Every structure is written in structure tokens, then in C-alpha cells.
Amino acid sequence: MPTLKLLIPGPVTTHRRVRAAMNRDLAPWDPDFRPLYDGVRARLLALAGGDPARHIALTLPGCGHFAIEAAIRSLLPAGGKLLIPATGAYAERMARLAREAGRIPIALPVPDDAPTDPGAVRRALAADPSIGLVGLIYSETATGIIHDPVSIGAEIRALGRRMLLDAVSAFGALPLDLSAQPELAAAVFTPNKCLESLPGAAFVLARTEALAPGRAGSWAFDLADIAANPGPRFTPPVQVLAATAVALDRLEEEGGPPARLARYRANARTLYQGMQGLGLTPVLSPEAQGPIVVNIHAPADPAWDLQGFVDAVKARGFVISNFYNTETPSFRLGAIGALRPADMRRAVAAIGAALESMGLEHRKAA
């Protein structure tokens, strides 16, 4: 199979050095592995402005959803209420995880073409003092809109409530400062998005005092139990953690999250303008467009067929998602991963050639 570039919002295209770090056998309990394990956790906490006296970095095997469920269970007792701004498909997923774990998600309707208004969160919390926690999607991967945890967090803090932040498609590029946001009870993310490492692990950065043993109602998902066992509990994805250590070296070499964010912004701009140049219509206005995911309206042409398009783009070297994640059909392009604007220009050319090959002439939104 030829090497393909993943133009999707995770798992992302990775650097060869990151993949090479997986090419060895490792025993989780071996004292030689502990510095790697503790080093990754300490570096993640430092990247997020965490204070080791107040915060703890926890590792779970699995994907992002597992860590979000663990955080919901560990922060909120059974029957507890969680306000979730309804930013899109990932907010719906958080609500489902909460509901099936016996917690009560309350959806806050928000526009699907603009960032969440902090005032709307304040009003919803003021109206119901029994809501203890707000679950916010930082970068809503379904729409590509960034929702600001700082201004929303200030409202949550003022009303004495707490925040659970889904930073899965944000961490490593978008800013996060745990020490400046005491209302942030936990932030959840995975290594295979903006950290540009491989899938198989998930991380939670939590305020230690926000965790209570036994509250989770599940041993496997109990963050307090993981916090109480600072070494690897059960079998951690050792190779993924080894790759993540190298990915963190690369993030440092690049100049940290601000430099990475600048590259993603340039990538997203290249995709956005490139798609317009092909006669296609981006879903968001340039002001609402975030740096992680660019959604493009499906063309009106009767010859449009998403899987056919995905296959034609793949034949030209790039993999894009073969499902719709928005209400009106749109295909999505990831601007993240070990890719730069020159790769994005090649992706635009590949997409242009794919449209030509399908004879798609009516490219405006359906």
C-alpha cells in the first residue's frame, strides 16, 4: 500500500520518528519504564500549566470516549446534573456517556455557526443551582468551531460550579492553563490528535481534590483509584506512551503549542481558500472557522457521492472521512497532524483532480 496522508481530525498523520518509538517490547512494571511513564505525565501537566501540588495527570488505556466517561463518573455522583452546551456531535456524545452512566445531562441550545456565548451558560447555571458541572467541548470536531473555555470558565467560577473540558481535538495546539482556571476540575484528551502521537491511550488532567474514591461506580473508570496508584494500573499502552514521549520532544522542538497552532492555522487557511478556489463552499464563515477542522458543503451536482469522492481522493494520496458529521451534508478535512501548508496545497490539488474525475461541475452547496 502506498503511504497515505491522513487528512482527518484524528488519528492524525504522524512523524516517522514517533512511529519508530513503538518498535520495541516494554514491560510496564519494569523500573526502566517508570521514568518514561512519569515523564510523559509530568510533561503533559506542565504543558497545561498544572501545579503538581493541586493537579494530577492520569493515563488510561483506550480512546477519548473512555476518558470522558471516566471523568464524568469520577467528578459527578450518580444522579448528578451536567450542563452541556449543544455544540454538535461531540457534545451529544458526552451527553450519551453521562446518561448511560446514570448522570443527568442537560443540553444548552447554542448556535451551530458561532462560539458558545458565556452569558448563556451563566443564565442556565443561575436558573438551576443543582447543576454542579458544565461539560464543554473546546474544539467541536463536528463543526470546526472553537468554544472558549476561559470566558465560559469565568462564568462557571463566578457561580461556584466546575468544568469538565473535552480538549481532545485541542490539547497540544490551543492554549490551556489549569492554574489560571481553578473551576477546571478535569481536562481530557488523547495523544493522537494535536499531540501528533498514536492512538490507544487517553489522558485526564484533574484537580486532585475534585476526585472522590468510589464515586465512579466503576473500578475500571475510577479516576480517584488511578490517582491513588501512581504507577501503571492494569496494562498501559506502553508503546503508545513511548511514541508520545517522542511526540512531546517534537512539540518542544517546534516551539510548543503556540507554534503548532500557527502551523494549523496556516494549514486550515490553505484548505479553506483552496476549496473556495475549486468552487466549493465552506460551511463556516472565515470568522467562525477554527484551525482544526474545515467542513465543506457537499456539492449540489447529482453526480456527488461521498464514498466515490473519498475513494478518488485516496487514489491521489490523501485519506478523508467517509461520513457526515453535520446536519446538512458536508465533508470534513483535518488541518492537524504532521502536515504543513505545502502538504495542504497538494491535498487541494488532489481534491481538485478528484472532482474533475467525477465530472462534478455544480460545486456550490446543495
Ligand X SMILES: *Cc1c(COP(=O)(O)O)cnc(C)c1O
Does residue number 295 form part of the binding site for ligand X (CB under 6 A)? no
Query: Among the candidate windows 61-69, 111-119, 222-230, 317-325, which touches ligand X by CB under 6 A?
Result: 61-69
| Residue 65 Cα to chain centre, angstroms | 10
CA distance 360 to 309: 10
N- to C-terminal Cα separation, the chain: 35
- Min dist CB 339 to ligand X, Å, is 17
Instruction: Report the helix count and the strand count for the chain, using DSSP H and E.
Output: 11, 13
- Min dist CB 93 to ligand X, Å, is 7
Task: Please tell me whether residue 331 adopts helix, strand or coil conformation.
Answer: strand
Each residue 158-177 as x (binds ligand X by CB under 6 A) or -, in order, gives --------x-xx--------
- Min dist CB 209 to ligand X, Å, is 25
Does residue number 65 form part of the binding site for ligand X (CB under 6 A)? yes
Query: Among the candidate windows 58-66, 303-311, 314-322, 324-332, which touches ligand X by CB under 6 A?
Result: 58-66
Residues 6 or more apart in contact with residue 146 via CB below 8 angstroms:
115, 138, 139, 140, 170, 174, 290, 291, 292
Does residue number 45 form part of the binding site for ligand X (CB under 6 A)? no
Does residue number 10 form part of the binding site for ligand X (CB under 6 A)? yes
- Which grid coordinates are listed for 299? 456539492
Looking at the Cβ atoms of 137 and 312, the one nearer to ligand X is 137
Looking at the Cβ atoms of 134 and 350, the one nearer to ligand X is 134
- Whether a cis peptide bond, with omega within 30° of 0, leads into 77 is no
Instruction: Check: CB of residue 258 under 8 Å from CB of residue 251.
Output: no
**Which residue minimizes CB distance to ligand X?**
64
Looking at the Cβ atoms of 65 and 263, the one nearer to ligand X is 65
CA distance 354 to 366: 18
Looking at the Cβ atoms of 90 and 318, the one nearer to ligand X is 90
| Residue 305 Cα to chain centre, angstroms | 28
Q: Give, in degrees to the nearest 5, the angle at Cα 265 between 108 and 120.
A: 15
Instruction: Check: CB of residue 161 under 8 Å from CB of residue 133.
Output: yes
Q: Where are the beta strands (DSSP E) in the chain?
A: 5-6, 55-61, 81-86, 104-109, 131-137, 139-140, 145-146, 162-166, 184-189, 201-207, 293-297, 318-319, 330-334
Does residue number 137 form part of the binding site for ligand X (CB under 6 A)? yes
- Min dist CB 136 to ligand X, Å, is 10
Closest to 333 (Cα-Cα) out of 105, 37, 9: 9
Looking at the Cβ atoms of 202 and 360, the one nearer to ligand X is 202
- Min dist CB 187 to ligand X, Å, is 12
Each residue 239-258 as x (binds ligand X by CB under 6 A) or -, in order, gives --------------------
Does residue number 141 form part of the binding site for ligand X (CB under 6 A)? yes
Instruction: Check: CB of residue 83 under 8 Å from CB of residue 121.
Output: yes
Does residue number 115 form part of the binding site for ligand X (CB under 6 A)? no
- Min dist CB 188 to ligand X, Å, is 8
Looking at the Cβ atoms of 90 and 221, the one nearer to ligand X is 90
- Min dist CB 352 to ligand X, Å, is 27
Each residue 331-360 as x (binds ligand X by CB under 6 A) or -, in order, gives ------------------------------
Determine which residue in the list 14, 190, 270, 330 makes contact with ligand X, applying CB under 6 A. 190
Residue list 67-106, contact with ligand X (CB under 6 A): 90
Residues engaged in binding ligand X (CB under 6 A): 9-10, 63-65, 90, 137, 141, 166, 168-169, 190
